[in-house]
Amino acid sequence: AQTVTQSQPEMSVQEAETVTLSCTYDTSESDYYLFWYKQPPSRQMILVIRQEAYKQQNATENRFSVNFQKAAKSFSLKISDSQLGDAAMYFCAYRPGANSKLTFGKGITLSVRP
Amino acid sequence: KAGVTQTPRYLIKTRGQQVTLSCSPISGHRSVSWYQQTPGQGLQFLFEYFSETQRNKGNFPGRFSGRQFSNSRSEMNVSTLELGDSALYLCASKPGQGFYNEQFFGPGTRLTVL
């Protein structure tokens, strides 16, 4: 069975600084997607960034980038120039192939200090 | 395009009752998935419907059921409610079952069982 592990329950970052959120996963599949979702206090789940397993290049979306290490089954999220609006829960998620089932990690609560 | 909508947003029930939650996907989306979010268990996949057929099912008891209508709207039903069913129920829609399809989440229904 696929598992997603986020070992840090909480992190804090100073506004304008950079923070990295860690995630590891376990799978025997060769084709899969990895995602980072943001869930602010409103509880609306928002997709931050996604990575296709077959792509070696790390995905980037503005201030958000990932470090995808396929052999190590590691998928960390880097947030640059942190903003107050980045404060939220962040979930790492895995999805095999065309399947719709997302397997989520436990999440990490990120706080941003002004 | 309007986003995924879920009704009601909040619901209070008592043990033993049943409840029906509704999800309207983004126009044109044919796949709807349901997730349960609790502080203890995190986000867990319930089931997915595509073109009125259940395609995937998570590890939940038979008290949890769902269906999808011809207009892609989906309902999930929980019978004989237990205290542990208190959770945020999220639905997500995507266009189809292709590998590249991204899921979009609704705001959730907060169910409280007393």
pLDDT digits (tens, 9 = 90+) for A63-89: 999 999 999 999 999 999 999 999 999
DSSP letter at B59 equals S
Residues of B in contact with A102 (CB under 8 A): 33, 35, 43, 45, 92, 103
Q: Which residue of A10, A45, A48, A89 to mutate against B (max B Cβ within 10 Å)?
A: A45
Backbone angles phi, psi at A86, to 5 degrees: -80, -10
**Amino acid, res. B1:** K
Q: Is pLDDT of B68 > 90?
A: yes
Pair A69, A57: CB distance under 8 Å: no
Residue B99 has a pLDDT of 60
- Calpha distance B14→B80 (Å, rounded): 9
Q: Do A98 and B31 touch (CB under 8 A)?
A: no
Report the gap between the CA of B48 and the closest CA in chain A (Å). Answer: 7
Report the gap between the CA of A30 and the closest CA in chain B (Å). Answer: 13
SS3 readout for B68-105: ECCCCCEEEEECCCCHHHCEEEEEEEECCCCCCCCCEE
Residues of B in contact with A9 (CB under 8 A): none
Q: Is pLDDT of A11 > 90?
A: yes
Residue A22 has a pLDDT of 97
The strand pairing partners of B94, in sequence order, are B31
pLDDT digits (tens, 9 = 90+) for B9-27: 999 999 999 999 999 999 9
